Structure 1
Amino acid sequence: MRGFQGEGGKQQRRTKKPRTARGQAFLQEIEQGSQEFIRSLNAPTNTLPHPNHSTNQLHGLDEDEQRFEDGRDGSHDREPEQIDHRVQQLQDYLQSQDYIHRKILEEKQWDEVYDQMFSHFYECASKTASWGNPDNWDHDWKPQCQCTHPRSRPVVFVDLLIRKQETVGFCDCYPDQVRLIQMGYMGGSPRFPRTAFSIRLLRFHHILWKRSVVAMSPFSKAIDEFLDAYNPLILVKNNTEDSNSACSTREWRKTLSSAVDAFREMIRREKCILDLMLNLGPMEKLADLCPKCFGPHIPGKKDHEPDYILCMDGNFQHRRHLKASVEIPDNIKNPSLFVPPEEVQNMETCMEQGSAENSEEDSENQAPDRCTEQHTAANDVRTGTTWRECDETGLFGMACRHDQIINLINIVQSGEKYYFPLTMINKIIGNTKQGERHTKKLAFLYDIGCNIEKGIIRRNQFPEHLEHNLLSFGTSVFHAYVHQWTCQLRYNPRLNDGWGMSDGEGMERIWSFLSPLIRQLRYATKNHRLQALEIRSQHHNDVVNLLFERGTHVEALKKKAMDELHVLQEEHGHSSEFFEQQWIRQREIQLSVMETESEKEMLKQIEELVELEDKLRETNDELLLLRQTRRRNRTATQRQQLELLPETLIYLEGEIENIIVDLGSENFRNLPGATDAESKALIKLKFSKSKLYEAKVGVIEMQRKWDQGGSGLTIILQFNGLSEISNSSLIGTRVQERYKKQMTSKVNTLKKKWLAYNNRAESYNSEFSPGRILATPTLDDVKAYGIDDVFWNMGALSHPDEPWAVDLNVQQGIQAYLTLTHCHDELRRIAHETRQAIQWAIKIGGDLDQIENCLIAETQETDVPTEIHQRLPEICLVNHIPLSVLQSIFGRLAQKFCRLWMTWNTKCKKLLRWSEKYVSHQENPNHEMEIIDQWEVLINNSKRMWEKLVRGCSVVTEIGNQADHNEEEILDQEAVEYAEGNPDYE
């Protein structure tokens, strides 16, 4: 099947071409049908199709690489091609009532057998070590029965090592699925299954899928090929032929997919039982997601520091097309990480009611500022027309500062709406509430955190948190540089206290982790899509790393900043206190200027001025080009333009001068000996430099977008003198061409803005001979500058007498001071988070011991029943399961935690000793020794519990090769730095 052919599509994937005439004809029909279907997606429409009017085809279309930030629909009209009538008949059938009724019946039949499947599934799991025991994994555990109506039929069994067909006896005592589970298999259909897959094969697929997102079709084909070595072929007859020569090999994708769904349903129900066994409340569930953030509280936090730092972001690559499946509305299951749609709807309704009550005031106060207009998410005006062929258009997520996914919102036929982040804020506020009062300070990093805070204050949302200053907002580090400087001074986490080295880009890294799902889920069912995202996200959260590598890296940054400050003090006599005072003065001066000017009017005039200057430059170039042409070769239109262009130039120059006079020179404070002409020249320079900065940010954003166009291995490209990172081998030829075209446009804009700035700067230096010559870098220099390079500082144009504005050494010292301050905060927070995570592990270990004693040891008659002794039987009663099921589920839970803690044990003590200098234990000086002793007890108990569960001793091996061990350490460090996103924290 061909890849997506529309805007942002991919190149055609290589497929194995059929050799028979019949196969070639079928391939041609499918290609034509796919092309026609894709064109139907881009066809203009006036009405929105109903979300449930769809098909159930898992098309393998490549992801649409067009990013949400483009703000474009990307649809184009194309002339339709004639489609084969048989392909159309197939689509019509998939939308027919007969097919829909069959799907509804199948879902109903699965629901009828799930309860009995779950109970027998874990009873058999406890007897076979989760089907890992090679001696009895396929033992038949069916008890003897006196059923008078037995029946039998052949069933094909597929295992990791076996592929065979056997006759199986069934009876009315158990559903067919339960009968197969008793044999170590799970059927591919709810009733009368004729194909069954071993549960250990399904476990293997589940673990493999979590880590590699292998698609169902290639996995089924790979297993089938692997089993060819010593197993009979499973053939099916062609319905149109009677001879054996018409047989073909069996395809397993559909039946395997059904068995995988049933297996995942068992896992989902297991998770629900686990939450009940551990009696997890909202805070305990958060601690389970990230023990470093939400583990048991460790004292020592400063008053101005937030308790929890979270980041939010939206993604619109994870779309789902309308014609992807037939859905049963009442059967859509909302996974645990996803916010219930009702909560999102309630926040939307609440905001609409508030807007209606204060419509006049809001219309006056809600005029979008510059930060809002520069980010589509702030004011997403796109309607359902943009998503007319997608019913689920993206995801909105919230993560903690360690990139652990806290919650997701499934976006339905809309863009990134304002109430999405507010829903997340409201949910985390409710989950962290302790008792009747809110006491936890929450900090949020979001692309437009400035806009969110202003809106909350204007509408007086979360009044208790506003009154007690329990909410703070910032912009993500990269997006901060797109904001105005006044906004950065207030919201950039690198310029404000309390954020440590948190960058707010965690969700961007999570989207990259989830990107392999984009193509697979574009045409999945709704439940499959949500379930796959949930499983992959849970796996992401399960890979919990301690903070030793991050801490040592921050410590290296701290040392580098201290060395820079030491050199500056030795060479220039400036102390850290001096740089601190300079930074405080810079903030006060710049905030004071920005708060006293009429910013909205000024921005409008700046925009008009820039437009006029661009027109003036274009007109000059056009006039010069026309004058260079020979008179006899000029057309009538060119001669007319040549007569009118001088008047246009005069008009534009006059308009520009009028705007500059209106703006005046009051924006520049006390320029010594500045003439009116010099002030105007400085204003022009400031505008030109601002536009050059915006063009530079545009190039960096395009480079970042290009890098995020795919996932996996990246390669370095040299493009127009810029080092660009691109997934060229993964995003397809068409998308690459589009990205290249966009990058060319961005670089050309950068060149134009550089020319404009350099011309004005050179003119200013020669005409006014300032005491400090303005920098005039080359184009290559501008391309090489980082976004935080001192060149972008506007101080030399606005405050030439201030050291922080013009002295490069002072600017370097301020940057080193800020880095040092944030490193101190980060290291102290890492030390606290480490101890919170370990205390959480110790607490969970104690809970597991209690549950084990309750499940295994018999309670004496004289014993007083504890809360857990009462809770476990109640769980069995409510869920209609025997106690043996809880024992089986407990074993899997214990193994999960034991493995996690043994992984932590490698560097746990080392991390505790290293970070001890960053915490104070005034209340309990012996706390460090106590926590180490408790950790050793936990590790010993974990070893004992593991050996008891698997009925065998753990094997301790020596490191065979120290060089290999060192290599693994380096690779682990690289993996951590990749997970952190930007290891340099810059």
Structure 2
Amino acid sequence: MATLSDSSPAIEVQDYAHVPYASPTKRRRTAHAVPAIYTPSGQRYHQQARLPLPVGQVGLLERPESLPVFPTRVNLDVSSQDTEGIPVTFDLGPSIHCRKRLAQAQNWQQIVPTLVRPYLQLMRETENLRLKPGSNAMEMECTCGQRSRRLSVVVVRMLVLERIQINVCDCRTAPLQLLRLGLFGCAPIHPSLAVELQVLNLVTSLFLRVSPNHTAVSSTLEAFLEDRGYVMKGEDPLRRRFSNALQWYNTLQDRASHFIDELIDVAREERLREDQEEHEVPMETPAEGSTPLLRPSEYLRARCPICFGGKVVPNNKHASRDPLREHPKTVFIPESEVKLWEDYVAEVRPSQESKDEHSRSARNDHYEGSLRVPNSVLDACEDSFTAADGTRQKASTQFFDSTGLMGMLCRHDRVLWLVNMTSPGERQHYVFTLVERLFNHLPSWFTVGILYDVACSTHRSCVKWDFLKPYLPRITFAISVFHAYGHAWPCQCIYHPRKCKGFGLTDGEGCERFWHSICMLVAYLRVCGHYQRLYTLDRQIQHGDKESLRGLGKWVARKWRLAQTKREEWSEQVAAQTKPLPRQSKNAGKKAIEEAIRMRTVIGTLETRIARLEVVACDLNEPPYLMTEAQEKLPGLTKELKDNKRSLLHMERALGVDQMNTYRHLASSEFITLRMNARAKKIRLRDRLRARKFERDRVERAVRRQQYNERKIQGHTEDSVKRREPGISKLAKEYNSMCEKMCVLIGRRWAPRNAVAPEPIPLKELFRLDVDDAIWQDVGLDDTTDTGAPPEWLCNDKVRKGIKAILERDRCDEELQRLRRERRSLFEWMEEEWSVLQRAIEEVIKLGDAVLLYHFNGRKVDLTRLCVRWRRAMRDMPDDVRLPQWAPPVEELDAMERDLGSELWRAEDEAIEEQDSDDELTSSEESDMDALDPGLLERLDALEVADWVEPELD
């Protein structure tokens, strides 16, 4: 193959197809192994020098017992007749490979910043690698005068392998020379292999869409090149070196992008200073803390421009980790900040209450502080969720240093921050860390709605222990829509986002959609290093941000279309259905009556069983074993019956005159007996349905393409769920039968005055567990309303439907108002970004820097293209004269519109529209979870509005 430059003596290129190759993985032995055992016969047994000595073995040198850390080297004097006090040195420090990795990482950290400017220049000269590097790329003159070293480097290109020769010295480093050629080396000082940037860009884009797998890519490249006649000799000649090159090339890309952002931010600070001087307000940053912010921090504005980009005005055991490597735009909160909250929570909140204390609080039920849900309900919610149990292990800390992730996302599913979890359970200090970090970046007049799986439990902790006390008046807590089924109905009345003011149609399931988008990384993240894991997640999030930024306009337009497509009674319903459990000191007479009625029922059951057994014991035609069994059970049941009758007699004597009359009336009422039994059966049915819902959680969240073991677990789960369905259906049928009998008794006037017939449960909607289903409503089963006329929300079905409709209308009104504000935020964010970029371009023109001017113009084109997409997406929305004009000039927008009308851009738009169409389907609240396909879990927006509105139109 021809050389790249025949006249340059520094670099030579030759065809690699038949060049012999020595694998760099073979290490030369630099020292002899140290003898570990000396026998009387003079024999010596050797052990690898880097391995520590075992303890308690006969004939082995003793290992130090009291070393606080592993030193690099330890000297042990061995004095005996055979060894004659020979001093022996053993290496107890990190392995050779580990030390080499740490040293290489430190060298890369120093070299990568020096490559940022050459990388930007290369992108300008080659028009982002569309052109080949120029002929002068290989011409570098030595300016240091030091002796050079000649390196032979194997180059991996898309179609061929080459070997080039380069001369390196202090001023002509190998990474710099390779980068000028459009290559990137595997090592920072003396690389033996370099990869073409086009290949690295292709693999980078691939790893943003599939789980990173360096072994598969390296093997594919080797096989592909081998088919073309290029063979790399040695054991595993490509994988490790290709992985190093890709890893640090990605670091260089991120550093270069961050470098451009920092230059633009200089112009942004100048503009902000001018704006604030006009308003005579000092400039502030979140770090200063002493003065309040005037707008969301630049970090939040960059994370989500539609949430924070507008001009907001106030209303008056662990193994050693891999080398440190941090993304310049990381979204992870430092571990030290999380540790502060963990220590504070452990100090303020005592250890978990015992069961006796827990049951005592249930007997003395009350509201906690300003909460509107009693403690008994909140305790039940905590018991239902894994997230509320900080001691329940989700991952083993014995094998994993990191046990999971907790994230905070805005309502547009854009990640604001992530916390790396290190505890076995999902503990509340992670939540407090995220919330405090958010408020540190927001002005003091901002109010925040927080949706969380167990927001009710978190709210109670904040009220009870004064967590987040400075921010609590500005927080509205709500539970996420999909997890509402696990909460008791009183809790849903207060914390369900469809029943809370201010949440609009936000579902709070953005985290679930985010976890689904990165689930492909699970296998890779389990085996990579700690910092590599965080870096991979950061790059994946940055990629997702770029993809979602283009679709923000379509998101606003789609939500607007969805939102376009009664209150006193509701307050009475909430007040009635969220009342605390009765204290022991109140309503004691009513409680005693209920206990006496239950005791009569138990006595009746015992009498029936005893009569049946007496018949069997006296019937000579029965089998002997049945007669014997009956005779054995009769004495115990007879004693139990006498004890219960004695207890009933004491209960009846303890009742007063009025209570006795009430008791006699209720005890003889068939309707009251049916109602009590129906209520108990409905509570049991609710519990079993909720348990079934949690059991189906694995099935409903399953991904279509699963591994064999996961599919097997899913099959077992589905089978066990199906086995329990007949029992649940039987309970529902028995409950419906009792409802029919109570309706008949009401019609015959054999029921108490003003009694309301309970609603039967539709068997077709039995497993739905929607927020307003009949399974949650205890209409007609509570006897507190028997003395007067029942309220309209209880007895009037039209009123209940009206409440449901007006709540949905209120949420739609809120959604429309929020969308108008978010639409304006897009205009204002675009105007600021355009103005800042124009200012930066003017400064670069004055400096005459052609490299920076090229990259700034590239940002300008990207911003214009983004503005065109937003304008086209929102053109069907009604005009608003209060909205400003788009920042880019109309001529540039029209020109970009014509470019986007080509076949190339039309295909891209169709792909985005298809993705938006899928988002409409995947963002609705569950309508019938039994009919859901496993991959369609996250459909929580569009279908939900239809399910709520259509019944009212009938």
Alignment TM-score, normalising by the size of structure 2: 0.69
Question: Paired residue for 1:69?
Answer: none
Kindly indicate whether the alpha-carbon contact (under 8 Å) linking 2:616 and 2:627 is maintained by their aligned counterparts in 1: no
Kindly indicate whether the alpha-carbon contact (under 8 Å) linking 2:610 and 2:638 is maintained by their aligned counterparts in 1: no
Kindly indicate whether the alpha-carbon contact (under 8 Å) linking 1:157 and 1:166 is maintained by their aligned counterparts in 2: yes
Question: Paired residue for 1:699?
Answer: 692
Question: Paired residue for 2:74?
Answer: none
Alignment-mate amino acid for residue 109 of structure 1: N
Greater Cα shift, 901-910 or 646-655: 646-655
Kindly indicate whether the alpha-carbon contact (under 8 Å) linking 1:698 and 1:746 is maintained by their aligned counterparts in 2: no
Work out which of the residue numbers 244, 261, 273 in structure 2 matches 1:258: 244
Distance 1:488 1:460 in 2: 24
Work out which of the residue numbers 235, 242, 245 in structure 1 matches 2:232: 235
Kindly indicate whether the alpha-carbon contact (under 8 Å) linking 1:139 and 1:184 is maintained by their aligned counterparts in 2: no
Distance 2:586 2:231 in 1: 74
1:729-770 deviation per Cα after TM superposition (whole angstroms, max 9, x unaligned): 776333223422542465366346436634654564566665
CA spacing shift, 1:459–1:150, aligned 2, 3 Å: same
Gaps of 5+ in 2: 1-68, 71-90, 269-284, 287-296, 362-367, 369-374, 925-937, 946-954
Deviation at 1:813, TM superposition (A): 2.0
Residue 852 in 1 paired to residue 830 in 2?
Answer: no
Matched position secondary structure for 1:352: helix
1:87-107 deviation per Cα after TM superposition (whole angstroms, max 9, x unaligned): xxxxxx999633332332332
Distance 2:553 2:608 in 1: 59
Distance 1:479 1:406 in 2: 22
Question: Paired residue for 2:882?
Answer: 927
* Mapping for residues 485-504 of structure 1, pairs under 5 Å: 485-504=489-508
Work out which of the residue numbers 171, 188, 191 in structure 2 matches 1:190: 188
* Mapping for residues 420-819 of structure 1, pairs under 5 Å: 420-433=430-443, 438-466=444-472, 469-542=473-546, 543-544=548-549, 545-548=551-554, 551-552=557-558, 555-556=561-562, 558-559=564-565, 579-591=566-578, 593-594=579-580, 646=637, 677=669, 678-679=671-672, 681-710=674-703, 713=704, 732-744=710-722, 747=725, 750-751=728-729, 753-754=731-732, 757-758=735-736, 760-761=738-739, 764-765=742-743, 773-777=757-761, 779-783=763-767, 786-798=770-782, 799=785, 801-819=790-808
Greater Cα shift, 830-839 or 806-815: 806-815
Kindly indicate whether the alpha-carbon contact (under 8 Å) linking 1:695 and 1:749 is maintained by their aligned counterparts in 2: no
Question: Paired residue for 1:292?
Answer: 306
Deviation at 1:178, TM superposition (A): 2.0
Distance 2:552 2:655 in 1: 55
Matched position secondary structure for 2:163: strand
Work out which of the residue numbers 824, 827, 834 in structure 2 matches 1:835: 824
Matched position secondary structure for 2:492: helix
Residue 353 in 1 paired to residue 350 in 2?
Answer: no
Deviation at 1:475, TM superposition (A): 1.1
Deviation at 1:889, TM superposition (A): 5.5
Kindly indicate whether the alpha-carbon contact (under 8 Å) linking 2:696 and 2:721 is maintained by their aligned counterparts in 1: yes
Greater Cα shift, 750-759 or 579-588: 750-759
Deviation at 1:422, TM superposition (A): 0.8
Distance 2:904 2:853 in 1: 38
Distance 1:976 1:487 in 2: 28
1:366-410 deviation per Cα after TM superposition (whole angstroms, max 9, x unaligned): 997222222232231247994322110000111111111111000
Distance 1:480 1:215 in 2: 38
Question: Paired residue for 2:388?
Answer: 378
1:890-920 deviation per Cα after TM superposition (whole angstroms, max 9, x unaligned): 4564454344333323224434x36x4xxxx
Alignment-mate amino acid for residue 463 of structure 2: I
Deviation at 1:805, TM superposition (A): 1.8
Higher relative contact order (CA 8 A, sep 6+): 1
User: Taking every aligned residue pair, what percent have the same amino acid on both sides?
Assistant: 19
Question: Paired residue for 1:160?
Answer: 158
Which of the two has higher C-alpha Rg? 2
Distance 1:251 1:617 in 2: 81
Distance 1:655 1:849 in 2: 92
Deviation at 1:530, TM superposition (A): 0.6
Alignment-mate amino acid for residue 526 of structure 1: H
Distance 1:979 1:216 in 2: 34
Kindly indicate whether the alpha-carbon contact (under 8 Å) linking 1:100 and 1:326 is maintained by their aligned counterparts in 2: no
Residue 906 in 1 paired to residue 877 in 2?
Answer: no
Alignment-mate amino acid for residue 496 of structure 1: C
Question: Paired residue for 2:175?
Answer: 177
Kindly indicate whether the alpha-carbon contact (under 8 Å) linking 2:794 and 2:800 is maintained by their aligned counterparts in 1: yes
Deviation at 1:196, TM superposition (A): 0.9
Distance 1:663 1:203 in 2: 84
CA spacing shift, 1:895–1:696, aligned 2, 3 Å: farther
Distance 2:781 2:541 in 1: 49
Alignment-mate amino acid for residue 249 of structure 2: F
Distance 2:745 2:101 in 1: 80
CA spacing shift, 1:148–1:504, aligned 2, 3 Å: closer
Kindly indicate whether the alpha-carbon contact (under 8 Å) linking 1:474 and 1:493 is maintained by their aligned counterparts in 2: yes
CA spacing shift, 1:540–1:971, aligned 2, 3 Å: closer
* Mapping for residues 50-61 of structure 1, pairs under 5 Å: none
Question: Paired residue for 2:137?
Answer: 140
CA spacing shift, 1:902–1:738, aligned 2, 3 Å: same
Distance 1:521 1:625 in 2: 65
Matched position secondary structure for 2:508: coil
Alignment-mate amino acid for residue 294 of structure 1: F
* Mapping for residues 95-114 of structure 1, pairs under 5 Å: 97-114=95-112
CA spacing shift, 1:557–1:803, aligned 2, 3 Å: farther
CA spacing shift, 1:970–1:111, aligned 2, 3 Å: closer
Distance 2:445 2:723 in 1: 50
Alignment-mate amino acid for residue 546 of structure 1: L
Work out which of the residue numbers 423, 427, 434 in structure 2 matches 1:413: 423
Alignment-mate amino acid for residue 580 of structure 1: R
1:433-480 deviation per Cα after TM superposition (whole angstroms, max 9, x unaligned): 3xxxx21111111112122222222233444434xx312111112222
Deviation at 1:419, TM superposition (A): 0.8
Alignment TM-score, normalising by the size of structure 1: 0.67
Matched position secondary structure for 1:927: coil
Gaps of 5+ in 1: 1-51, 54-92, 239-249, 304-321, 560-578, 714-726, 860-882, 917-925, 947-952
Kindly indicate whether the alpha-carbon contact (under 8 Å) linking 2:409 and 2:417 is maintained by their aligned counterparts in 1: yes
CA spacing shift, 1:113–1:781, aligned 2, 3 Å: closer
Deviation at 1:966, TM superposition (A): 7.5
Question: Paired residue for 1:71?
Answer: none
Matched position secondary structure for 1:287: helix
Kindly indicate whether the alpha-carbon contact (under 8 Å) linking 2:255 and 2:328 is maintained by their aligned counterparts in 1: no
Residue 208 in 1 paired to residue 195 in 2?
Answer: no
CA spacing shift, 1:379–1:141, aligned 2, 3 Å: same
Alignment-mate amino acid for residue 479 of structure 1: H
CA spacing shift, 1:794–1:384, aligned 2, 3 Å: closer
Question: Paired residue for 1:343?
Answer: 337
Deviation at 1:549, TM superposition (A): 5.4
Matched position secondary structure for 1:211: coil
Matched position secondary structure for 2:524: helix
